[in-house]
Structure 1
C-alpha cells in the first residue's frame, strides 16, 4: 500500500496519509472514540480491514531497520484511502523484530540530559554503564554480563557501535554523544549480522546524516555550577548528488565536587568535539558516506569517597559533594605535569571512516573501512585521600583499523532474507601506568609499569530467516571468530629500588557463536518469539601494576548459552503497547576482576575465570497514551545471578586478617550458590504532557525517573562492599515555536537532591564509592531552520 508522509522531528512521529485507488475516508475521532475503536481493532485484527487500520496507526519514521525487522508482514492490498492520525508510539517496524532491544531517539537523550555514555544506564532496564574507578574507561553491563576492564586489554563484553563501526577499545567512543539520530541497546549475544561477536550485547549509536535540504541549528545549555554546553550543526547540498553535515559540541564547567583540603572544585568539564560527514549518491543504487571526527577532552574527573582505609588512618568526612586528593611534587615531576594539576583527563580521540553501499539486482553490498586513534593522559587519585598511597597516572597510545564487507538481501518482502559478511580488526596499543606509593608502608616508592599489546581479530558471519506458513518465521545465524593477542615488553620500575622485566605472553581464541529461533506473528498487533544463542568474548591480560609473572597469566575466553522468549504487542493501537521478555544465561568461564594477593606486597587486581554461573531475569516495557496529550513510558528489569562453581580470594576476610596481623595472607572462600550481586531491580520511565496552547506553538512538560538496585563490589559483598541502591527524579518544561524555529527549556536532574553512588572500587588500601551529581537546574535555548 503506497504511503505519503512527513516526519515531525519534535515528537519523533509521522503525520501521514495512506493512499489507495479507492476514495473511502475515515474522519478524525475524539480520543474517547479512538479508545473504543482501539478495542474493536483487537477483535478485527485477524481480518483484512483490521490489519489495514492497525497498519495505518503504526506508521514508522523513516530510519534504518534492524535486519530482523526488514521483512515485517506485508500490508494487505486493500483499496482504502486513510487519513492517519499522528501515531503515539515510535519504531513500529521494530515491533516485528525478534529481540528485546530498547530504541531511543536523539530527542529522548536531550530530554533525559544524556551527555556521556554513563548517562545511558538511566534509560534501559538491566543496564549498567559505569566508569572504572572514576577514569575514562567505561564498562557496559547488560543483563549482568560485562567486565570492569581498566586496562582495556580485552574486547568489551558489550560492544559499542557508532554508525555501524565497532569500537574495540571502550575509551575511543568517548565524547561522541552529540547530533545523535537514535540509539539501540540490544542485550544478549550478538554479531550474527554485522561486526564482531559479543557475549553481552551491543549499544549502537546512529548519528544524524547529511540532508538534501538546508538545515541548521544551535543550542545553548546553561546549568548549575557554571556548566555550559553548546551544540550546533549545519547540513545541506553541495551538488545534486553530494551533501554534507558538520556538527560540533563544547562543554565547560559543572564541577560540583569540592576539596576542603586544597580548596578547589573538582570535575569541571573542558571538552570540544567535531564531526563532519559527506554523503555522495552518484546514482539510485549507490551511496558513499565519509565521516571524520575529533574530540579533545581536558575535563576534570570525579574523585571517590573512601569507605574503608586499611591503613587505619582517619577517613575524611563522608559529606555530599566533598572529596580529598593530593599530588606530590615528586610524582608530578615524574609524570611531567604541573604540581597543581587536579584529577583530570588530557585526551585526544580522532578517526575517519568510509561506508559504501551498492544495490545489485540480487544483493546489497556494503563496505566499511574505519581508523580510530586515541591519546590518553589521565591523572586520578584512586585512594580518595590526601595520603600518597594510590595516586595514578595513565598514558595510552592506541590505534585501531577495521575493514568489514557485507552482503544482504535486496527485497525486504521476500520470504527468504539473508546476510553474510566478514570483519577484520587490528589494534596496536602502548600503555604506561605510574603509581605513587610513597605513604604505603610496604612499598614507599614511585612505580611505573609499561607494555605494548598487539591484537588482531578476524570474524565471519551469516544470518538467514525464512517466512513459513501460519505466520511463522524461522531464523538462525552463525559467527566464527579468531582472535590473537600478544603482550610485549612488559617492565615494572620501582624507582630507586629495582626494575623487573617480564616474559612476553600471548593468548588466542578460535570459536563459533550463533543463534536459532522461531517467530510467530498471528496479527499486526502481536508478535512472539523464542531463541537460543551462544555468545563469545575473547580472553586477555591483566597488566596495569605487575610485580610477579603469575599476574600475566592470560584469562580464557568466556562463553554462554542464552535462552530467551518474548513478545511485542499493541493491544489497543495508538493507546497501549506492551513488550516483554524472559531470559536465562548458562554462563561458562565468566571473566571476572578479582584479587590476587602477593604476601610481601599486598592485594592486586587480576582477571580470572569463573568456571560456571547463571543469570536469569525478566524485562518489560509499557507505552501508554491514555489521554489526548499524555504519554507514559515505563521500563522494568529484574535479574538474578548465582555462582555455581567459583572459589576465590575473600577480600573482606583478607583485609580483616591484615588489620589484625599486619600481614597479607590470601584467604580463599567457595562462593558456590552465592548470589553474584548484580543489581536485581532497575526501573526507568517518563511521563510527558504535550499540547498546543497557540497555533504553531507547543508546550511539553514531563517527569522522568530511574531506580537502580544495590550492587556487590566483591563476591558476596555486604556492608561497605555493596553499592547502595538509589532513586532519581528529573523534570523538564519546553516551549517551542515551530514556525519561528526556536525553543526554550528549563529542567532539573536529581530533583530530590539525593546523595547516591554510581560505582565503586578499590585502590591499594582504600575501598571507595564514586558519588553521583547533586541536583542540577538548567535551561536550554535553541534555534534551527
Structure 2
C-alpha cells in the first residue's frame, strides 16, 4: 500500500495542496491530529513522505505517480465529495450515473455501470480498508488528513479492481494531546455545513477521536414546466469514531466506526433530444412513422443550456403521487487495524472490516415532468466483510519485502422498479398487441467471494539504483440470480411474454404467474439458441449463473537516482478488473450474461527533478496501456422492444499519453502549480450497436468514453503576513477539460435522433472552471475566516449524457456556488 504525509511546519493553504506525480503544493500544512509527525530521516520541510511497502521515503525518491489533496485544501476550497476533487486532478474524470452511482475514470480506464453491485476500475480505500463499491464512497470526504490518487494499475498491492488506479482516504487520527476544532459554512442555495472534531488521550495507552459533519441546503435545480418548483435539496449526516490503543510496546490497535445518512434529493436530468426507438415496429404492420409517439413527450420543451434547468415527475403510475427524485440511503463500517512488531524482523499487520450499505431512492433520468423513463423506487443492500494479513520486514534492510493475503465476501441485492408509462411503449404495444406496457422491475442478487495472495520486493542494487517487483494471485467467484418481473396488475408485460413463449416454442402458452420471472430463455444474438441449459427453449425464468475467475497481477520496475534531486523511473505492470453481471431490463436471458474480467498492461516511465534550490519541481511521465476486454455497457437493438442495455467486452483498446507538472515558489509566500495531461484513448477492435440502435458499426478508432484528450490545472496561492498576528489567504484555480463522449461513437448523432436541441447529442463539451478563495487567518493557525467560490463564472457544463426509451438527457454540473466559512481550533 502507499500512503503520504507532509513533513515539517508549512504555511497554510489558500489553494489546493495538490501533488501531481509527487509534486505537493508546498504550502500544505499537516492535518491536525495526524499521527507520527516526526520527519523521516533526511526529510526536509515541505517534503512529501511516501510509505510505499510500509516504509517512509521522500516521494521524489520513489517511482510512483500520484496526486494528493491535503485536508486543509479540502476544507478551504469546500471540496465536499470525490466528484469535487475530480475536477481538480488532471486525468481523473467523474460521471454522474442516472441512478446516482458515481463513476470514476482515471487515465481513460473506468467502468460505467449503474448497478450498485459492480466493482469499479478505480478502487477506493479508507485507511487501506476497501470501499468495494462506488456507491459507498458518497460521503467519506470529511475530517481527512489527505486524499491520495494513485495512477496506473495498482493490482499487486490494491487488488484486482484497480486497473485504472486507486484512491485512498487518509482520515485524521486520534492525538496524544487534547485538540478540538470546528467550522461553519453558509453558502448559496441556503447551504449550511457544519463540521467538528474532538481528539485526545483517555489514558496513557488509550486515545480517541470523534468527528462529524452535517450538510443542508435548498434545491438548486429549477423545473422547466413548473418555474416555482425546485429539486436538489441536501440533507447529509456523517460521523466517525476512532479509538487508538497501545497496550504494550510493539502492539498498536485502531478501531474505526464510521457511517453516513443521505436524505437528499437526487439530481434530475435535462431533456435534450428525442429518439423513438420503436418506430421500426410500425413499418411491418403498415403504420406510418410517428404513429406511436406520445404527444406529451413531443410537446415537452428541451432544457435550455443552463446549469439549473431540469425537470422531474411528481408521481408514478407504480406508486402514486410523490416527488420522484429522493434518497434515503445510509452506510456504516466497523474496522480494526492491528500492527504487531516482531522484534527487529518487521511488522505483522491485520486489517478487519465489516461494511453495510442500505439504499432506498428514486431517480428521474428522462428530464421530463412525465414518466417517460423513471426509476421511482430502487431498493438495495450491500454487506461486505474484509480481512487482510501481511508481513513487512525491517525497512532499513536493502532487500525489503511485503508478503500477505486477503479475503473478501460481498452480498449485494438490488431491486429496480422502472416506470415508462408515458413513453411511446404503451401506445406501440397497446396498438400492436392490445397490451400497453408501462412498468417493469428487476432484482439482481449477487454473492461474491475473493481471496488473494500477494508479495512485493525492493532491492537496492547500489545506493542510487533500486529494482522492484510485485505479484498477486486472485481467485474470484460471483454467484448471481437475476429476475425480471411485472410489478403491477393487469400484468401486461407478463401476458406479452406468454405470447412470446408460444412463438418460440410452438406449443401452448406458458402462463405468467404474477411476481415470477419473465425474461425468455433465448440468445438475443442467435435467437435459435438457448441462453441457459436449465430451462426449456423460449421458456420464462430467472438467470442463474456463477462466474469464476482467477488472475495474476504483477509489476516490475526500476528507480535510478541520477543526482540527489533527480529520479528516473520505469515500471511495467499488469492489473485486472473482475467480471460483472448487469442490472438491466431484458427480453432474453442472454442479456444477463456477464462481462468477463478485463486487463491493463501498462508501460510507464518518468523523471522527477527538484531544481533551483527546491524553488522548482519538474515532473514528466509518459505511459502506454494495452487495454484488453474492457467492460462497457452498450446497446442491443431488440426487434420487438427496440433499444435495450447489455454489458459487453471490448476486445482491444489502447491508451497513450503523458503528464507534465510544475511547482514553482518564486517567493516564500507565493506558489504556482501547473499540470497538463494528454490522453489518446482509442477502441482498436469492436463491432456493435450505438446509443441510437444503429447496428453493425465498426468502432475501431473511436475514442474511449469519458476521456478528455487535454486536461489542464493551473493554480496560484499567496499567503503573506499582513501583520504580526494575521496572514492573508488568497488563491485561485483554473481547470480545463477538453470535450469527450458519453458513449461509443457519441461524436456522431445516431440515425434514430429525430428531434434535438444540440448538434452532438452524446458529446460532453469542453469546459473551464474557475475557483477562488480570499480571507485571513491568525499567525498560529488557530482560526480563519474566508470567502470561497466554485465555478464563479457560472459555466454551463455536464458530466454525462444518457439515453432513455425515447429520450436523451444530460446531467449538468453545479452552477456558481459561493459562501463564507469560519473555523477555529482548540489546542
Output the CA distance in 1 between the equivalents of 2:787 and 2:460.
49
Output the CA distance in 2 between the equivalents of 1:740 and 1:363.
38
Structure 2 residue ranges without an equivalent (≥5): 1-6, 16-40, 277-292, 427-436, 495-515, 519-540, 748-759
Output the CA distance in 2 between the equivalents of 1:308 and 1:408.
57
Give deviations 1:373-426, integer Å, cap 9, x for gaps: 01111111111112312110211011000000011122x332111111111110
Output the CA distance in 1 between the equivalents of 2:444 and 2:423.
24
Output the CA distance in 2 between the equivalents of 1:368 and 1:194.
13
Q: Does 1:386 align with 2:373?
A: no
* 2:704 equivalent among 647, 652, 676: 676
Q: How does 1:710-749 map onto structure 2 within 5 Å?
A: 710-718=739-747, 719-739=760-780, 741-749=782-790
Is the contact made by 2:348 and 2:391 (CA closer than 8 Å) also made in structure 1? yes
Q: Could you tell me which residue of structure 2 aligns to residue 36 of structure 1?
A: none
Q: How does 1:92-491 map onto structure 2 within 5 Å?
A: 93-133=58-98, 135-262=99-226, 263-311=228-276, 313-319=298-304, 320=306, 321-333=308-320, 339-361=321-343, 362-392=345-375, 393-410=377-394, 412-443=395-426, 444-469=437-462, 471-488=464-481, 490-491=483-484
Q: Secondary structure at the match of 1:716?
A: coil
Quote the offset at 1:629 in angstroms: 1.9
Q: Secondary structure at the match of 1:372?
A: strand
Output the CA distance in 1 between the equivalents of 2:206 and 2:159.
28
1:606–1:95 Cα change, 3 Å: same
Q: Could you tell me which residue of structure 1 aligns to residue 736 of structure 2?
A: 707
Is the contact made by 1:704 and 1:731 (CA closer than 8 Å) also made in structure 2? yes
Output the CA distance in 2 between the equivalents of 1:516 and 1:614.
20
* 2:51 equivalent among 65, 90, 101: 65
Output the CA distance in 1 between the equivalents of 2:317 and 2:43.
70
Quote the offset at 1:560 in angstroms: 1.8
- With normalisation by structure 1, the TM-score equals 0.86
- With normalisation by structure 2, the TM-score equals 0.82
Is the contact made by 1:296 and 1:349 (CA closer than 8 Å) also made in structure 2? yes
Quote the offset at 1:447 in angstroms: 1.5
Quote the offset at 1:56 in angstroms: 6.7
Quote the offset at 1:698 in angstroms: 1.2
Q: Secondary structure at the match of 1:124?
A: coil
Structure 1 residue ranges without an equivalent (≥5): 14-53, 73-92, 334-338, 655-665
Q: How does 1:485-504 map onto structure 2 within 5 Å?
A: 485-488=478-481, 490-493=483-486, 495=488, 496-497=491-492, 498=494, 499=516, 500=518, 501-504=541-544
Quote the offset at 1:573 in angstroms: 2.9
Output the CA distance in 1 between the equivalents of 2:52 and 2:70.
15
Following TM superposition, where does structure 1 have runs of at least 4 consecutive aligned residues deviating by more than 6 angstroms? Answer: none
Output the CA distance in 2 between the equivalents of 1:329 and 1:615.
44
Is the contact made by 2:149 and 2:166 (CA closer than 8 Å) also made in structure 1? yes
Output the CA distance in 2 between the equivalents of 1:318 and 1:111.
33
1:180–1:56 Cα change, 3 Å: closer
Q: Secondary structure at the match of 2:370?
A: coil
Output the CA distance in 1 between the equivalents of 2:362 and 2:156.
39
Q: Does 1:599 align with 2:642?
A: no
Is the contact made by 1:198 and 1:537 (CA closer than 8 Å) also made in structure 2? yes
Output the CA distance in 1 between the equivalents of 2:50 and 2:722.
34
Output the CA distance in 2 between the equivalents of 1:322 and 1:698.
40
The answer to which structure, 1 or 2, has the higher relative contact order (CA under 8 A, 6+ apart) is: 2
Quote the offset at 1:241 in angstroms: 0.7
Q: Could you tell me which residue of structure 2 aligns to residue 505 of structure 1?
A: 545
Is the contact made by 1:112 and 1:704 (CA closer than 8 Å) also made in structure 2? no
Quote the offset at 1:756 in angstroms: 1.1
Output the CA distance in 1 between the equivalents of 2:551 and 2:218.
46
Output the CA distance in 2 between the equivalents of 1:227 and 1:56.
41
Quote the offset at 1:470 in angstroms: 6.1
Give deviations 1:629-655, integer Å, cap 9, x for gaps: 211111211101122111110334x3x
Output the CA distance in 1 between the equivalents of 2:154 and 2:364.
36
Quote the offset at 1:284 in angstroms: 3.2
CA RMSD of superposed structures (Å) = 2.0
Output the CA distance in 2 between the equivalents of 1:71 and 1:287.
18
Q: Secondary structure at the match of 1:192?
A: helix
Q: Secondary structure at the match of 2:761?
A: helix
Q: Secondary structure at the match of 2:136?
A: helix
Report the count of equivalent residues.
700
Quote the offset at 1:676 in angstroms: 2.7
Is the contact made by 2:53 and 2:392 (CA closer than 8 Å) also made in structure 1? no
Q: Secondary structure at the match of 2:202?
A: strand
Q: Could you tell me which residue of structure 1 aligns to residue 716 of structure 2?
A: 687
Output the CA distance in 2 between the equivalents of 1:168 and 1:438.
35
Is the contact made by 1:120 and 1:129 (CA closer than 8 Å) also made in structure 2? no
Output the CA distance in 2 between the equivalents of 1:489 and 1:534.
32
Q: Could you tell me which residue of structure 2 aligns to residue 40 of structure 1?
A: none
Output the CA distance in 2 between the equivalents of 1:314 and 1:170.
37
Is the contact made by 1:194 and 1:461 (CA closer than 8 Å) also made in structure 2? no
Is the contact made by 1:193 and 1:420 (CA closer than 8 Å) also made in structure 2? no
Output the CA distance in 2 between the equivalents of 1:545 and 1:445.
13
Give deviations 1:666-693, integer Å, cap 9, x for gaps: 5221112333352101111320001111
1:282–1:196 Cα change, 3 Å: farther
Output the CA distance in 2 between the equivalents of 1:274 and 1:715.
40
Q: Could you tell me which residue of structure 2 aligns to residue 609 of structure 1?
A: 649
Give deviations 1:522-556, integer Å, cap 9, x for gaps: 32211110111111011011123233201111111
Give deviations 1:441-486, integer Å, cap 9, x for gaps: 3243221111311111111110001001261110000011111001
Is the contact made by 2:236 and 2:264 (CA closer than 8 Å) also made in structure 1? yes
1:9–1:149 Cα change, 3 Å: farther
Q: Secondary structure at the match of 1:239?
A: coil
Output the CA distance in 2 between the equivalents of 1:8 and 1:632.
15
